[in-house]
Amino acid sequence: MPSQVHVLSNIAYAKQVVHHLDEQVKERERGVPMGLDNEMKLNDKERYEIVELMQDMLPLYERIDDILPVFLQISQSKMATTRLIIMKYMFQDQIKLLDQNKFIFTLDALKKLQDQFMTCFVYVKNEVDARQRRRQELDDDNKIKQ
């Protein structure tokens, strides 16, 4: 298996690793942050707010698979990447259960999941932007030296 440094330098390899991690998570039984027995503790307002937040989070969920290889490439952390994959599937599980009016998240737990997704996206954006700036600075330095 290639070294961690190889992950940093090769996005194709990072995609393979993410695919492998995703398959591992998909195959094992996943727990949920709150058991289905907690659904009776949610009032109608909380249920409505959860559904609204889920709708707001859909664009993040839909893009998470695209960003995971870049996240792995930058962070070099299979553990953090696996945690994000687990969160993706927890969100997916909740989407499937909405049709049955079942909830595996409290509003607070869903907000924490949203924060984790947002943190991932912001981290990747900041790192990619910083690398592009460094590359541009190197290009500018090389032009000056010529």
pTM of the model: 0.82
Return the higher-pLDDT residue of 92 and 5.
Answer: 92
pLDDT in tens, 9-37: 688 999 999 999 999 999 886 655 555 55
Average pLDDT over the chain, rounded to an integer: 87
Domain boundaries, the chain: 4-145
Q: Using 50, 70 and 90 to split pLDDT, how confident is the model at 90?
A: very high
**CB-based contacts of 139: which residues, under 8 Å, 6+ apart?**
none
State residue 123's pLDDT score. 97
Phi-psi region of 76 (alpha: psi -120 to 50; beta: other; left: phi over 0): left
State residue 2's pLDDT score. 47
